[in-house]
Amino acid sequence: MSRHRNVRGYNYDEDFDDDDMYGQSVDDDYCCISPATANQFIYSRQERQAPKEEPLEEEEYEDESKAYSFVPLFPLAKSRDVSHNKLDSEVVPKVARMTVSGKKQTMGFDVPRYLTHISQGENGVVTASLRRGGSPENATATPASETTSKRPETPSKGSNGDEPSTVPTPGRSSGKARQTINIKAELEKRQGGKPLLNLVVIGHVDAGKSTLMGHLLYLLGNVNKRTMHKYEQESKKAGKASFAYAWVLDETGEERDRGVTMDVGMTKFETNSKVVTLMDAPGHKDFIPNMITGAAQADVAVLVVDASRGEFEAGFEAGGQTREHALLVRSLGVTQLAVAVNKMDQVNWQQERFQDITSKLGHFLKQAGFKESDVFYIPTSGLSGENLTTRSSVAQLTSWYSGRSLLEQIDAFKAPQRSVDKPFRLCVSDVFKDQGSGFCVTGKIEAGYIQTGDRILAMPPNETCNVKGITLHDEALDWAAAGDHVSLTVTGMDIIKINVGCVFCDTKEPIRVCTRFRARILLFNIEVPITQGFPVLLHYQTVSEPATIRKLISVLHKSSGEVLKKKPKCLSKGMNAIVEIQTQRPVSLELYKDYKELGRFMLRYVGSTIAAGVVTEVK
């Protein structure tokens, strides 16, 4: 009978959707033994592909993965070893490892970790080959084997294929020599040694952000000629011929109709030494909440300004978005900025215009807090494609400009340090129901790492769920670490409970939830003074929640931080103050001193940003 029916390969997990009770015997009930031990010692037929093997070595526990996370370079790299034959050999070593179980619990892992990505022909990380008893066999599994497993959770011992290869070159691993990247098996991943970078494109409305990026993607080959041609034709038909490149990123019907980007468009591309997640933000004032969501997840930014006469001035003055966007990204923690002075072909690549813009912007950005050494200015033309991927050949430009092209500049950005060793945190930016059981959440992992099969906790609903699958840029993975923008398929929870703004965290170290908290804020240029009871809109990561300023506690001196005045009557622009904020609904927050990225927030009122702040205390 097993000839005709796929009995062995039957995926019982799919059968009983979210119900943990069925399909497992009562003995498996997690009240008696911990899931980790259960996974380790109790043979489950579903795990017929590589059984969960708890790594034994001490080295593993020393460092919580401080490793980087990298996007797989080639699809092939995503090979998983389905080693049925290893089954027997590994059951034996398992028994021998019983003694270590106690220590394992502290790791909080239910699923053994494996390196899932082997890049072909690359110097992968040497995992502790000593660790695994069955490694000789593993070495036989070639990296190229691309057996697709039925379930994304299949742990793979892919890394083993790399073991014979050399020790990772630390220099290549990340922009900075991280000798902390250790042999922690699964979580040392370097797909081709390219660190991941999150880039956001900001600027005033109609500065040319979408067109610039669309053209860049086209030149890099991410968009094929036929698709481009199709866009050109359709946009011409719609009467928006100049928006052809922008259509690469603006995909919804409405965005194309109106010719504006309304929501952050996400995609990825690669440069010589980086894998870049691109977020194209809307420039319109009304869509700033969406732009904040995108910018909160970014590490570096490209500010696009329009060089045409009058346009730059319009964007740069008080009501324009150039200032607001720059301030926002700075407040959200971005330190490196590339300014693309766009539409230079409209001003005939004049040097004086470029200098003019550069000096004005430079002055402003310095005030905003950007270091001069971290800001770069590049003249470009999005529509014609000059100076995007290669150095320009336009004579008018090369006569006075010999700096980098946009792509080279993006390549030259320093990738930031990721806090992979902190407890897992992921801010949900999108929730939707995909095919299959469970539902998908998208977001950027702010700290820590995650694997398929993990149990994670969602706050504020305070519910746990299982991670069924991880997808990064449309490719399924088994793990992901801080800095990745992934979409998780989770089961075991009601989709209603999760909305944009929830934070998924480690079950052992949950994030705090509150309605009142104290914060230190810096006020921008505001017209209306802030008094007690002032209603504002709190923007924290992906959350946007109405809140009131409950109490004005004190005013601080801008640079020294000492208290100038206690219990002030009101706050006006430029002040640095400590206030107590109360939100309508509970939000999950982290203190600034624990997590630099997660401790920042913005306050907006009537369509403009009035303050940026950091969380100092949670009540």
Partner 1 sequence: MKLLHKDIEKDNAGQVTLMPEEAEDMWHTYNLLQVGDSLRASTIRKVQTESPTGSVGSSRVRTTLTLCVETIDFDSQACQLRVKGTNLEENQYVKMGAYHTIELELNRKFTLAKKSWDSVVLDRIEQACDATQKADVAAVVMQEGLANLVLVTPAMTLLRAKVEVTIPRKRRGSCTQHEKVAVMVYCLLSFLLLPFLLVVKCILVASPGFVKDQFITYLFKEAVRHDNKILLENRPKFMLVHSSSGHKYSLKEILSDPTVTNRLSDTKAAGEVKALEDFYKMLQHEPDRAFYGLAHVEKAAEALAIDTLLISDKLFRHQDVPTRSRYVRLVDNVRDNGGNVRIFSSLHVSGEQLTQLSGVAAILRFPIADLSEPEDDSSSDDD
Sites of contact with partner 1 (CB under 8 A): 251-255, 258, 262-267, 284, 286-287, 289, 429-432, 442, 474, 498-500, 527-529, 531-535, 537, 546, 548, 551, 566-567, 569-570, 572, 604, 606-607
Q: Which is nearer to partner 1, 418 or 485 (CB)?
A: 485
Q: Please give the Cα distance from 379 to 351 (Å, whole number).
A: 10
CB of 473 to partner 1, least distance (A): 9
Q: Which is nearer to partner 1, 250 or 454 (CB)?
A: 250
CB-based burial label for 364 (10 Å; 0-12, 13-18, 19+):
middle
CB of 427 to partner 1, least distance (A): 14
Q: Which is nearer to partner 1, 154 or 267 (CB)?
A: 267
Q: Please give the Cα distance from 176 to 179 (Å, whole number).
A: 9
Tokens 């660790």 map to which residue? 131
Q: What separation, in Å, do the N-terminal and C-terminal C-alpha atoms of the chain show?
A: 63
Phi, psi of 453 (to 5 degrees): 95, -10
CB of 97 to partner 1, least distance (A): 42
CB of 23 to partner 1, least distance (A): 30
Amino acid present at 83: S
CB of 494 to partner 1, least distance (A): 12
Q: Which residues contact residue 391 at a Cβ distance below 8 angstroms, ignoring those fewer than 6 apart?
A: 398, 402, 404, 405, 408
Rounded (10°) angle between helices 321-331 and 288-296: 30
Q: Which is nearer to partner 1, 65 or 609 (CB)?
A: 609
β-strand pairing of 196-203 with 275-280: parallel
Nearest CA-CA partner of 269 in 91, 118, 71? 71
Q: Which is nearer to partner 1, 359 or 531 (CB)?
A: 531
Q: Which is nearer to partner 1, 45 or 569 (CB)?
A: 569
CB atoms within 10 A of CB 27: 9
Nearest CA-CA partner of 234 in 245, 219, 222? 245
CB atoms within 10 A of CB 549: 23
Q: Which residues contact residue 207 at a Cβ distance below 8 angstroms, ignoring those fewer than 6 apart?
A: 283, 304, 305, 306, 311, 315, 322, 342, 343
CB of 253 to partner 1, least distance (A): 7
Q: Which is nearer to partner 1, 103 or 258 (CB)?
A: 258
Q: For residues 103, 109, 112 and 115, what is the CA-based torsion angle, rounded to 10 degrees? A: -110
Q: Which is nearer to partner 1, 229 or 567 (CB)?
A: 567
Nearest CA-CA partner of 93 in 51, 125, 145, 149? 51
Q: Which is nearer to partner 1, 248 or 612 (CB)?
A: 248
CB of 499 to partner 1, least distance (A): 5
Nearest CA-CA partner of 142 in 153, 152, 125, 156? 156
Q: Please give the Cα distance from 66 to 60 (Å, whole number).
A: 11
Task: Identify the DSSP state of 435.
Answer: S
- Which tokens belong to 209? 């952000």
CB of 540 to partner 1, least distance (A): 15
Q: Which is nearer to partner 1, 200 or 375 (CB)?
A: 200
Q: Which is nearer to partner 1, 183 or 587 (CB)?
A: 587
Whether 201 and 87 have beta carbons less than 8 Å apart is answered as no
CB of 572 to partner 1, least distance (A): 7
CB of 442 to partner 1, least distance (A): 7
Q: Is the peptide bond before 143 cis (omega within 30 degrees of 0)?
A: no
